[in-house]
Structure 1
Amino acid sequence: MSTDSMVTHVAAALAVVITASYVLGAAARRLGQPPVIGQLFAGIALGPSLLGLAPGRIYEMLFPEQIQPILTALAQVALVFFLFAVGYELDLRLLRGRGAVTAVSLGGFAIPMLLGAGVVLLFPGGFSSANGGHPVDATFTLYMAVALSITAVPVLASIIRDQGLAGSGPGTIAMASAGVIDALSWPVLAVVLVGGAHGSAQTWTVRVALLAVYVLVMIFAVRPLLMWWMYRPGALMTNHVPIAVAVALGSAGVTSALGLHVIFGALLAGIIMPRQPDGVPDNQLLRPLQETGGLLLPVFFTISGTAVELGGLRASDLLLLTVICAAAIVGKVAAGSLSARVARMPWRDSLVIGVLLNTRGLTELIVLDVGLQAGVIGPRLYALLVVMALLTTAASGPLLALLRRPAGTSPAGPTGAQPGGEKAPGTRPGPEPGQSPAADAEPAPRP
């Protein structure tokens, strides 16, 4: 395929992907679901499971094999921008003096981890069959523990806003706890990838040592240099976005070279990026990266959907899917609710927090994509886990409506607080990926 032909195919594919993602994302929002549900369905529909069955080889014409590396690269760049924004907005200071956030964070992380590992130990044959020859070992067990502990912060923010919980006690505690849970999950996932890397013990030791050195360099050398550059005299009107993009992409490239996924370098770059003097993220730096990442994220959904081969599932996989979903729901809803109750939250607010933490969405898809690329999970189990992510995320809205209906109280407005709840200062549901913070009236259908 010539360069001109490749450019033509890439442009046409991007037009179809972005349009389908926008339309189905908007349709999902009208149905009371997060846009990520519709966007992932768009990715699956554009993959071999549906579009690949259409006559006339439409799938091969729209997504020829030659452009797959380009689309994959664009999807990874989208993840770099998205995870950089996640790291930049992460604020662990919310844990200080917040007993409910601490309890819910620890419970919502540890209990799902234990259940994820437990189901693997209880049903090793089922996982071995669905994993397509990939080993069901300690690395796989730890990976499943992480996969069931994830909560999707951007999708959670969307649900909180749509349900009128923004600023309420349950909403702010769930948002803060979800950020802490994911902050704890990413390092464990990195350990999974490093521990599961092929090679000798010496190679593994060298890789871990290099990773540790790199983290120290980023914290004690790159961050002070960035602070000097951003706060130097005359830097007030300087555009810091190119610097942030360069740091994010460069850091992602380093972690990829060390055998980890690009998302870890992007997340680390966001964490070490200096904030404003008052500790608040610089919106002029954050917003362009969110919008760019949000524009490219439909390509990631398409790449993720392409790997979902529903036709390859077997009847026996239904039982395993039921087990996985049960462990995922119990692990989050029960753990979040009981942890909030231990922190003396009212039962109804505690249940709302548990349901909110059961939202997985985009972040879960990133974890699944990492596991698939690393060879930890196979295509069949990947498809089952994607279905689990869809079901648990889609269930959040109806469950919240069911919980709040009997009380007869109206949902808390954007600045209201639920009875019995506490409002965590400095916590606010941020915009979804690619959405302007000012676009609260009618948010764009982003995941």
Structure 2
Amino acid sequence: MLLIFSIPWLIWRLGRTDYWAPLVVVQIIVGIVLGPGMLGRAYPEYYQFIFNPAVIGALNGIAWWAVMLFVMIAGIELDLAKAWQHRRESAVTASLALGVPMVAGSVVGIALLGYAGWVGSKALPWQFVLGVGMSCAVTALPILVLLLEKLEILRQPIGQRILRYASIDDIAIWGVLALILLDWERVGRQVGFLLAFGIATILYRRLMVRIPHADRWYVALIWLAACAFGADWSGLHYMVGAFLAGVVMDAAWFDQSKMDMLRNHVLIVLMPVFFLSTGLRTSWELGGAAVFVAAAALLVASIGGKLIGTHIAGKVLGWEPGEAGIIGWLLQTKALIMIIFANVLLDKQIITAATFTALLLMAVASTMLTVPVVYPRLNRMRQLIFRTT
């Protein structure tokens, strides 16, 4: 825990990396460095002493609960009502911003099918290709919120527009993940879970509006644990259950300032453990060059696909010159949600550790590029900040 909390913070603070690498990105990078592919290879005895099985087991337990909380909060913060008010614009932008990079990423996935070491042992070809494609299309909504705050546009019209697009894509991302994880041998159990979840949601929503405000936080945590357990039992994944638990809750049930504090506290207190445990899962068995080449191809597919998609949307919707580029760069932010998505694929053996490492490197690089690219563009186009559509 001393390593987890001290090293990233010191690098971030003393190195003043915030402009191009927020603290969460530094934490992810440090997790990779402390993993078996780097620290484990350079100092194997020290690595085995620090990260012995008992320690890894304890860290994983903390990490699982941290990421469940984080995904639930992301689900709660989805504002579908606003998306419905601007449904044409939101639907056009979100579908193109998701669909084009997913196709581009799937092309890279198809290319990787031809080489050994990338496809997980339990993956069908379509599951692997779709998983890689969707990894390139993911927008990390919680990280996007942090970057919009840093750019001072979170509460401005353009910030709210971008959040609408990302919110719609978030639902699609988890829906695709559920499709990838669909197990025909246990499809009856999965259908049973979804039916039970639908009925329980009706009862849960009726309960939440009737109980005191202070009790809602505790009941929400009980609901989170129940949904995550049910999804995992059915053969989906506890992370799918965590997102479902959040998305059926109304943000209005909770004090927004307290919800913001909870998200920030989870990021500060718990999520660094998840970042480290993620780093411990990286692998360079195929050789560093192969992993970096794959990561570069995925990065091009991710950023290029997102920018092409938003530029097409801009043409259809009549945006001003330069507007599509700003929106596209912000929507291509990856980090947390893509890492969570890739963790699920790795858990279910859809991808290998080498593919996971390439996806992780792609997520880190795409997130680090966002603020340096967007900040000067926003300064040149301040009038965009206040446009509502």
State the aligned residue count.
Answer: 386
Cα deviation code 1:355-408 (max 9, x no counterpart) = 111111111110111111110000111111111111111111222145346x4x
Q: Does 1:423 align with 2:388?
A: yes
Cα separation, 2, equivalents of 1:281 and 1:344: 37
Q: Is the 8 A contact 1:349 1:421 kept in 2?
A: no
Structure 1 vs Structure 2: percent identity of aligned residues? 22
Q: Could you list the runs of 5+ residues in structure 1 that have no partner in the other structure?
A: 1-13, 230-234, 413-417, 425-447
Aligned residue among 288, 305, 313 for 1:339 = 313
Take 2:366 and 2:143, find their aligned partners in 1: how far apart are those partners?
A: 12
**1:21 and 1:122 mapped to 2: Cα distance?**
35
Task: Decide whether the 8 Å contact of 1:78 with 1:292 is kept in 2.
Answer: no
Question: Which stretch of structure 1 is more off in the superposition, 346-355 or 64-73?
Answer: 64-73
1:240 partner SS: helix
Q: 1:221 aligns to what?
A: 203
TM-score (norm 1): 0.79
Q: Aligned partner of 2:243: which letter?
A: L
Query: What CA deviation, in whole Å up to 9, does each residue of 1:192-223 have, x standing for no partner?
Result: 112xx4xxx4x333123212213212322222
Are 1:283 and 2:252 matched, yes or no? no
Q: Does 1:105 align with 2:58?
A: no
Q: How does 1:165-244 map to 2 (within 5 A)?
A: 165-194=153-182, 197=183, 201=184, 203-229=185-211, 235=212, 238-244=214-220
* Structure 1 residue 119 corresponds to structure 2 residue 95: no
Instruction: Give 1:25 deviation, angstroms.
Output: 4.6
Aligned partners of 2:282 and 2:356 also within 8 Å: yes
Write the letter of the residue equivalent to 1:39: Q
The residue number in structure 2 matching 1:262 is: 238
Are residues 1:293 and 2:242 paired? Answer: no
Matches within 5 A, 1:43-54: 43-54=31-42
CA displacement 1:408-445 (0-9 Å, x = unmatched)? x5xx5xxxxx3485237xxxxxxxxxxxxxxxxxxxxx
Find the partner of 1:272 among 233, 243, 248. 248
Contact between 2:71 and 2:242, CA under 8 Å: does it hold in 1?
yes
After superposition, the C-alpha distances for 1:254-289 in whole angstroms (9 at most, x for unaligned) are 21111222222221222223443xxx7433662464
Instruction: Look up the match of 1:389.
Output: 363
CA contact (8 A) 2:314 2:324 kept: yes
Q: For residues 253 and 284 of structure 1, do their structure 2 counterparts lie closer, same or farther at Cα, with a shift above 3 Å needed?
A: farther
Q: Which amino acid aligns with 1:266?
A: A
**Structure number with larger C-alpha Rg:** 1
**Structure 2: how far apart are the matches of 1:114 and 1:376?**
18
Residue deviations 1:50-96 (CA, integer Å, cap 9, x gap): 32245482222222112222211110100111011111111111222
- Provide the residue aligned with 1:148 in structure 2: 136
AA at the equivalent of 1:244: A
Name whichever structure is richer in helix by fraction: 2
Q: Which moved more, 1:26-35 or 1:68-77?
A: 26-35
Q: Would the aligned equivalents of 2:231 and 2:241 in 1 still touch at CA under 8 Å?
A: yes
Over residues 220-270 of structure 1, what are the superposed CA-to-partner deviations in whole Å (9 max), with x where a residue is unaligned? 2222222222xxxxx35x343222212112221121111222222221222
Structure 2 counterpart of 1:88: 76
Q: 1:19 corresponds to which residue?
A: 6
Which residue is equivalent to 1:246? 222
> Normalising to structure 2: TM-score of the pair?
0.90
Shift of 1:32: 3.3
Extract unaligned runs of 5+ from structure 2: none
Alignment match, 1:369: 343
Distance 1:187 1:28, change over 3 A: farther
